[in-house]
Structure 1
Amino acid sequence: MLLDPYYTQQESSIKISAEQASFFAKKECQDFNPIHDPDSKRFCVPGDLLFALALKEYGVSESMNFTFTNMVGDSVALNFPKTDSDHIIVTNDQGKSVLEIKKSGKSSDDIELIESLIKKYVVFSGQNFPTLLMPLMKENNVMFNPARPLVMYNSMNFEFDTLSLNNPVHVELAESTLEVEAKRANEFLHFDIYDGEKVIGRGVKTVVVGGLKPYDHDSITAFAENYLANRNAF
Structure 2
Amino acid sequence: ERERYGERVRGALLKHVREAGLHTSWTEQEPPYEEAVERFVTEGPCGAPAERVAALRGVLEPYIRANVLGTALVHLTMPGVPDVYQGTEGEYRALVDPDNRRPVRFPPVDAGEKGAVTVAALRLRARRPEVFGETATYAPLPAEGPAADHCAAFVRSGEVVTAVTRLSLRLAEAGGWRGTRLPLPPGRWADVVSPGREFEGHARVEQLFERLPVALLERTA
TM-score of Structure 1 vs Structure 2, range by shorter chain: under 0.3
TM-score, normalised via structure 2 length: 0.25
More helix by share: 2
TM-score, normalised via structure 1 length: 0.24
More strand by share: 1
Question: Which of the two has higher C-alpha Rg?
Answer: 2
